[in-house]
Structure 1
Amino acid sequence: MQRDLAGRHTVVGDPAGARLWHRGVVDVRDEQLPPPQPPRGPMREPARRVSTRAIGMWTVEALVGVTVLLAGQIIWWFIDDRDSRTAHWLVGALWLVLSIAYVVVMPRWRYRVHRWEATQHAIYTQAGWLRQERRIAPISRVQTIDLERGPVAQLFRLASVTVTTASAAGPLSIHGLDLPVAQQLVESLTAAAIRERGDAT
């Protein structure tokens, strides 16, 4: 596993699928996903929630976004040479109402929606808030697995896992995982993908 300056980790497996690099060398034969589960309906929501600290992370990220908009309004106030400030007060009031609703509601809503689950044969994700998405990726389709930690995520000791598959729909992402959980998930998915490829040859 390699780490760049942005705090992103990338899983590296050798062609023979014998080793996984992550804080040294780990024998993938020791990495196990949870035992096989009974057959599940494809539309059932995934079983596991993300960390409760994700609410704090999303709240901070929302505050950063609304602060940027506030800075734009302040600049507009000073460069606008019209005598009337009515438009500024109206826009400011709208910004205040929407910002409070966004900062208070969005993180908790996202936490209620975001779920994930990994089995021996597939990974399931559910994400979003206004627009929600549920996806399933067979382990046999997994191409790369990344662990990422932005500045705010590092502050809350969280990480995101992104699974790239051979699908036109794009990668699957799980945000707001406790760091140890994210690390174990990366290693387990990598080992499962290696075993799946080994069984297919």
Structure 2
Amino acid sequence: MLDLRPPENLVSSRAVLYWAARAALGWLVPLAAEVLWQRFGDVGLPVTILLIATAVLALAHVIVMPEWRYRVHRWETTPDVVYTQSGWFNQERRIAPVSRIQTVDTERGPIERIFGLANLTVTTASARGPVRIHALDFTTAQRIAAELAARTQASVGDAT
């Protein structure tokens, strides 16, 4: 039986840069819109204050969130279960028995490919939905997917 300690493995250390890059890209549109509004609109001090506040929030988000998520996001597989912990404000731990696994998938978006990362999705017969491990090293994700697929094949049961 697995106790409710945090899972052993951290995600890839490159996840910090990946999450920072994604956050920075998300802030580009509002910052650009505010810069254009200030530059070409008939505005005064309120828009300047809004731009400064947005820039401070963006900077805090890009610096704090990736490190925070890296410290929280963990995963572990055993012969019997897949165990994950994720989130940053709302943190969640999930345990999925290998005998309940239906599919194991890896996914890589364009930014993940740049950082050599992949996401692993373990679909089970749970109404709660799949178990996801984000920001794994690509080779680790492939290895874990192959191991879980092999364990699933060897497991007695019908994954329902």
Instruction: Give the TM-score of the pair, scaled to structure 1.
Output: 0.73
Structure 2 counterpart of 1:158, from 95, 117, 130: 117
Partner of 2:34: 73
Structure 2 residue matching 1:103: 3-state secondary structure: helix
Q: Deviations over 1:157-198 (max 9, x none)?
A: 1111011111121111111111111101000111111111xx
Structure 2 counterpart of 1:200, from 136, 157, 160: 157
- Equivalenced residue count is 158
What's the CA shift for 1:73? 2.0
Partner of 1:21: none
Matches of residues 109-128 of structure 1 in structure 2 within 5 Å? 109-128=68-87
Partner of 1:139: 98
More helix by share: 2
Aligned-residue identity in percent: 46
1:168 maps onto 2:130 in alignment: no
1:40 maps onto 2:2 in alignment: yes
What's the CA shift for 1:71? 2.5
Read off the aligned partner of 1:108 and give its amino acid letter. E
> Is the CA contact 2:35–2:51 (under 8 Å) kept in the aligned structure 1?
no
1:53 maps onto 2:14 in alignment: yes
Q: Deviations over 1:129-168 (max 9, x none)?
A: 1111111111121111110111111111111101111112
Greater shift after overlay, 178-187 or 164-173?
164-173
Read off the aligned partner of 2:146 and give its amino acid letter. E
What's the CA shift for 1:75? 4.7
* In 1: Cα distance, 2:116 partner to 2:57 partner: 29
Q: Which runs of 5+ in 1 are unaligned?
A: 1-38
> Per the alignment, do residues 73 and 174 of structure 1 end up closer, same or farther by CA in structure 2, a change over 3 Å counting?
same
What's the CA shift for 1:47? 0.7
What's the CA shift for 1:78? 6.3
> Is the CA contact 2:106–2:119 (under 8 Å) kept in the aligned structure 1?
yes
Read off the aligned partner of 1:61 and give its amino acid letter. R
* In 2: Cα distance, 1:141 partner to 1:72 partner: 48
Q: Which runs of 5+ in 2 are unaligned?
A: none
1:98 maps onto 2:51 in alignment: no
> Per the alignment, do residues 90 and 141 of structure 1 end up closer, same or farther by CA in structure 2, a change over 3 Å counting?
same
